[in-house]
Amino acid sequence: MSGINLGIIGGGQLGSMLSEAAKKLNIKTIIYCDDIDAPAKNFCEQFIYGDYQDKNKIREFVNKVDLVTYEFENIPFETLNEINKIKTVIPKPSVNKLIQHRLTEKDFINKLNIRTTKYASVERKTDIDALEDFLPGILKTTTLGYDGKGQYRIKSKQDLNSLNIDFSKGYILEKLVKLKKEISVIVTRFGNNSYEIYEPIENTHEDQILKYSKIPAEINKRLFDESKEWSIRIAEELKYIGTLCVEFFIDRNENLYVNEIAPRVHNSGHLTINAYNISQFENHIRAVCSLEKIPLKKISNAKMINLIGNQIIPYRKNLKIDHNQFFFDYQKKEVKTKRKMGHITTLI
């Protein structure tokens, strides 16, 4: 059938699930990753290990594929840009560049008249002296953060003395939102005003790491509609192709804020594998490979729990699960604390 060789940069669980979805569509995946033990090795057709700046290895990868996509945003822009001169990279590298930097990302969202948290750039420790209004806040590295890595909660200026923060990196200070809830919206855009959108997903974090997701989200109609409308607006404005996720905060006064955009498939959308006719992964593959867009249908409500660190162990030892539950083991070699090892989706 399609016979496409799809290159994917990044070999984590998202790369694995993209590979599984591609296989169903008769598309071969070639994964490039800088981790020799990348879990997606077990799911893809071919695996190439190399640094994201290794020009020779990247060339070897590019020669094997028809087009390239990615499963995480922290890939050097130059690498994506160079690849794009030879084989098409989707989503386009400029989108990645904009989103991988928390300041340009938030500036972009605000230009669309969409609300974000209050934020300011911090380049030196002393910059915080003029930013009283942003406290209590969270100081985040402008680049390379995920799962709460590179983040510091700051109640007062004094906290800076006890925290050993490396100011050779750039930061953003965000005012803390008094959270009532967090939700995310996943949309797959196929072209101008052509997209499939999943209903808002309610998310619960523990230690800044996603722990639970569920549909339906317990939110009012205005938030349901507004979060979808903002997500579509963002995808259209970026002229995005593929699956994208917008993470939102809802504060105690029911105000909606965009927290961040993930230019990729997203952990909160794992439940789409079992709860919809087409998962976020399959839709991503369909969009980037210009395959048919099929109308989305929800099959069931669902909840997902991430298995973090050694929570995976009892399930690996054949802990019984119910008939309406689906267990996913990412087959990561090493069990580490705070590492996402697998998940369970329950249809409800």
| Interacting residues toward Mg ion by CB under 5 A | 247
Q: How many CA atoms lie within 13 A of 348 on its CB side?
A: 12
Q: Which of 247, 265, 272, 276 binds ligand ADP (CB under 6 A)?
A: 247
Site string for ligand ADP, 109-128 (x = CB under 6 A): --------x-----------
What does the alpha-carbon distance between residue 345 and residue 324 come to, in Å, rounded to a whole number?
8
- Asked if the peptide bond before residue 91 counts as cis, ω within 30 degrees of 0, the response is yes
Q: How many CA atoms lie within 13 A of 25 on its CB side?
A: 28
Please give the residues from 201 up to 230 whose contact with ligand ADP meets the rule CB under 6 A.
Answer: 205, 208
71 near ligand ADP, rule: CB under 6 A: no
Select the binding partner of residue 147 from Mg ion, ligand ADP, none (C-beta < 5 to 8 A, by kind).
ligand ADP
**Residue among 227, 220, 109, 121 nearest 171 (CA):** 121
**Residue among 30, 121, 70, 43 nearest 284 (CA):** 70
177 near ligand ADP, rule: CB under 6 A: yes
Rounded to a whole number of angstroms, the minimum distance from the CB of residue 335 to Mg ion is: 23
Other C-beta atoms lying within 10 Å of the C-beta of residue 297: 8
244 near ligand ADP, rule: CB under 6 A: no
Rounded to a whole number of angstroms, the minimum distance from the CB of residue 93 to Mg ion is: 21
Q: Which of 174, 196, 199, 202 binds ligand ADP (CB under 6 A)?
A: 174
Rounded to a whole number of angstroms, the minimum distance from the CB of residue 210 to ligand ADP is: 7
CA atoms 39, 40, 46, 48: torsion sign: negative
Q: Which of 9, 90, 131, 138 binds ligand ADP (CB under 6 A)?
A: 138
Other C-beta atoms lying within 10 Å of the C-beta of residue 18: 32
Q: What are the residues binding ligand ADP (CB under 6 A)?
A: 117, 138, 145-148, 174, 176-177, 179, 182, 205, 208, 247, 259-260
